[in-house]
């Protein structure tokens, strides 16, 4: 359980969370934001696995993509809400 929580927290504070939020702020379309967040999640996992698919753990990849999508969607929501105020 601690491994899962550490993986989630690490991804929130790492590239998928921060860069996903930043890329989500660049668009007002949720689908584009989600795709950008997923790309960041896959890219971060591949980067830390040294671009070798044998070093990729499914749990880490899944969490990184999920955090990237959620962070990008939050960034997109911030942009949409910020423009209507």
- Tell me, what DSSP letter sits at residue 57? -
Q: Which domain holds residue 33?
A: 2-84
- Tell me, what DSSP letter sits at residue 53? G
Whether 85 has a pLDDT exceeding 70, the answer reads: no
Q: What is the pLDDT of residue 3?
A: 86
pLDDT band for position 83 (50/70/90)? confident
Burial class (CB in 10 A: 0-12, 13-18, 19+), 45: buried
Number of separate domains in the chain: 1
23-73 residue pLDDT tens: 999 999 999 999 999 999 999 999 999 999 898 989 999 999 999 999 999
């Amino acid at each position: 359980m601690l491994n899962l929580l550490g993986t989630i927290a690490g991804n929130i504070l790492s590239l998928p969370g921060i860069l996903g939020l930043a890329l989500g702020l660049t668009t007002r379309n949720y689908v584009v934001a989600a795709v950008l967040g997923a790309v960041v999640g896959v890219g971060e996992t591949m980067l830390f696995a040294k671009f070798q698919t044998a070093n990729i753990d499914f749990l880490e990849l899944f969490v990184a993509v999920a955090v990237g999508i959620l962070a990008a969607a939050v960034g997109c929501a911030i942009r949409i809400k910020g423009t209507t105020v």
